[in-house]
Amino acid sequence: MKLVFRPVHKPAEEFAEVTRPPISRTMETYLEMHSFGFPDRPTAANLPVSVRLAAVGKLIHERLSILSDVLRRLENIGWDVHTQGDLVVVLNTLSLEDGWAVLRREGISDHIMGLLEKGSDALPPNGLAGGGETTEVGTPGFGEY
């Protein structure tokens, strides 16, 4: 089984992601709070660079926190985790179904769905048990699986 992650994306993608619809309520609130001092109350369409940069930092921090926790758990169960250029690649000798069963058992299968990049092994045909029948992998706008 092979999983591929891109911890940090191209700057243009990161800048675009903070305002790509649908914007979460948490991000809307964050943008509003950081735009408070501007007289024209910027919207997602016309954010000052300083506010956009702060939002990018927040997104990257959240993504790296989740990814580092997931990778630590995979390293602890003996999966091979290594970097390959801009990517983090996770390998093991398990079949696709067995690998996803381990991810479910470890409680991390749902956490990685939005983080997987092209090149990752697809979900088994029956999706994620207990997490719905997920068919899409990846964060829209990023490496889309």
* Pairing state between β 80-84 and 87-91: antiparallel
DSSP 8-class letter at 36: T
Q: What pLDDT does 137 receive?
A: 43
Q: Where are the beta strands (DSSP E) in the chain?
A: 2-5, 80-84, 87-91
Q: Where are the domains of the chain?
A: 2-112
Q: How far apart are the first and last CA of the chain?
A: 15
**pLDDT at residue 129 greater than cutoff 70:** no
Tokens 């948490």 — which residue? 26
Of how many residues is the chain composed? 145
Output 117 or 131, whichever has higher pLDDT. 117
Number of other CB atoms surrounding residue 115 within 10 Å = 22
**pLDDT at residue 133 greater than cutoff 80:** no
Number of other CB atoms surrounding residue 11 within 10 Å = 10
Q: Is 65 helix (H, G, I), strand (E, B) or coil?
A: helix
pTM here? 0.77
**pLDDT at residue 8 greater than cutoff 70:** yes
DSSP 8-class letter at 84: E
142 burial type by CB count under 10 A (0-12 exposed, 13-18 middle, 19+ buried): buried
